[in-house]
Amino acid sequence: MPVETTDTLIVGAGQAGIAMSAHLGENGVPHVILERGRIAERWRSQRWDSLVANGPAWHDRFPGLTFDDLAPDAFASKERVADYFAEYAEKVRAPVRCGVEVTRVVRNAGRPGFLAETTHGAIEASRIVVATGPFQKPVIPPIVPAHAPVTQMHSASYRNPDGLPEGGVLVVGAGSSGVQIADELLRADRRVFLSVGPHDRPPRSYRGRDFVWWLGVLGLWDAAAPPQGAEHVTISVSGAHGGHTIDFRDLAARGMTLVGRTEGYSDGVLSFAGDLGENIAVGDANYLSVLDAADAYVTRNGLDLPEEPHARRIGSDPDCIANPLLSVNLEDAGIGTILWATGFGRDDSWLHVDAFDTDGKPRHQRGVSTEPGVYFLGLPWQSRRGSSFIWGVWHDAKFIAEHIVTQRGYLAYSPADAQMPAGR
């Protein structure tokens, strides 16, 4: 049986794959999207029940389709976000095939293109766009052995408080996931410890504008690379309960015990770094720096946005910050679960091409990899801070589509009919 062929094969139908399809479709590039689950599967089945988008509906979307059942400032539920991408796929007539996993991709020998093996047969493509997600494999640091007398779970497996064993919970990691889950557990009357590492915590809103607006006008979404030394600093924001600024002192006042970074485990006892105060202080400085930049922007542009002096009031440190615990005995503290909100890694083991460095990280420039014809989309900081977020991936997809159009133009060159490739 002849093998099916296409110009561009997109692997994955999350927001990245759908954005890619929209741009390729607009440019008339034949393509196919293969998705092993459903469209936006990760939003449907790999995130906790109460998750809502971190950005408001007016912002966390693609051009040309609004969340017409939501107020612009509302935060879409995770199911609504997934429905949105399914709706978008339909709108742009994205040729998505669900339930098909790409299991292996190799470069063709002695001729251009790639052969993709899938759970539904093989397909040949001139180009491959890897849109399999920035957050794929849950990462748990090897600190607590599996045989320790405590349930260990990654945030990707957490659904709701009822799904956890009885007792207290240590949540490790205070990025958006960790802090939202810790808050939910506290509201469910669990005893909660939260292990806080370095983080940014922009104000949810300031002077009547959401932080996504401020990051936009201040050019911070477009930052090309994280500040030196801050490559792994997580951003701690929440759209839950209508959206609010993450305030660690408030969590402590409501009964949460904050601790520093989780460092070690021995014989039922967890140990923490003494960095809690510093991490909180650096997070405060980040928060205040956004207010400063916003005020300067208002003054420079003569904007009429209401002043908000109380936003600068930062309360005194509660006891758990002033005198942080450096260790805790799991049994004595009644901790039955450690919930690791410690991020994700990639799994490109199916992709047998020359596009990775010695650490296995994609080698690329704005998503154009070192293996001609292979593209990555949706990587954190692919071209800018916004790259792995809903609105940001749209721009990276456009750039890649233009690159593909240009390459197709070169390949279509014939001396008799020579023209500059489209897109140049």
Ligand X SMILES: Cc1cc2nc3c(=O)[nH]c(=O)nc-3n(C[C@H](O)[C@H](O)[C@H](O)COP(=O)(O)OP(=O)(O)OC[C@H]3O[C@@H](n4cnc5c(N)ncnc54)[C@H](O)[C@@H]3O)c2cc1C
Chain residues that interact with ligand X, rule: CB under 6 A: 11-17, 34-37, 41-42, 47, 51, 53-55, 60, 101-102, 131-135, 177, 350, 378, 388-390, 393
Q: How far is the CB of 60 from ligand X (least distance, A)?
A: 5
In the complex with ligand X, the residue whose CB is nearer, 324 or 343, is 343
Q: How far is the CB of 408 from ligand X (least distance, A)?
A: 24
DSSP 403: H
Q: How far is the CB of 340 from ligand X (least distance, A)?
A: 13
Residue 390, CA distances (Å) to 3, 156, 177, 217 in order = 34, 19, 17, 17
Q: How far is the CB of 398 from ligand X (least distance, A)?
A: 15
* Token pair of 212 as six digits: 């996504």
In the complex with ligand X, the residue whose CB is nearer, 203 or 378, is 378
* Token pair of 305 as six digits: 């946005």
Q: How far is the CB of 361 from ligand X (least distance, A)?
A: 16
Q: CA 166 from chain center: how many Å?
A: 30
Q: Is 327 helix (H, G, I), strand (E, B) or coil?
A: strand
Q: How far is the CB of 196 from ligand X (least distance, A)?
A: 18
Q: How far is the CB of 199 from ligand X (least distance, A)?
A: 15
Exposed e or buried b per residue across 412-424, where buried means at least 16 C-beta atoms within 10 angstroms of its C-beta? eeeeeeeeeeeee
In the complex with ligand X, the residue whose CB is nearer, 16 or 169, is 16
d(CA 246, CA 261): 18
Q: How far is the CB of 51 from ligand X (least distance, A)?
A: 6
Answer whether 13's CB lies under 8 Å from 89's CB.
yes
In the complex with ligand X, the residue whose CB is nearer, 102 or 164, is 102
In the complex with ligand X, the residue whose CB is nearer, 200 or 317, is 200
d(CA 134, CA 299): 37
* Token pair of 332 as six digits: 């004595």
Strand 168-172 and strand 335-340: the pairing is parallel
d(CA 377, CA 19): 10
In the complex with ligand X, the residue whose CB is nearer, 44 or 249, is 44
In the complex with ligand X, the residue whose CB is nearer, 131 or 252, is 131
In the complex with ligand X, the residue whose CB is nearer, 13 or 276, is 13
Q: How far is the CB of 179 from ligand X (least distance, A)?
A: 11
Q: How far is the CB of 385 from ligand X (least distance, A)?
A: 11
In the complex with ligand X, the residue whose CB is nearer, 16 or 270, is 16
3-state DSSP helix/strand/coil % of the chain, to nearest 5: 30, 25, 45
In the complex with ligand X, the residue whose CB is nearer, 82 or 276, is 82
What's the per-residue H, E or C state across 158-210? CCCHHHCCCCEEEEECCCHHHHHHHHHHHHCCCCEEEECCCEECCCCEECCEE
Exposed e or buried b per residue across 38-67, where buried means at least 16 C-beta atoms within 10 angstroms of its C-beta? bbbbbbbebbbebbbbbbbbbbbbbeeeeb
Q: CA 47 from chain center: how many Å?
A: 12
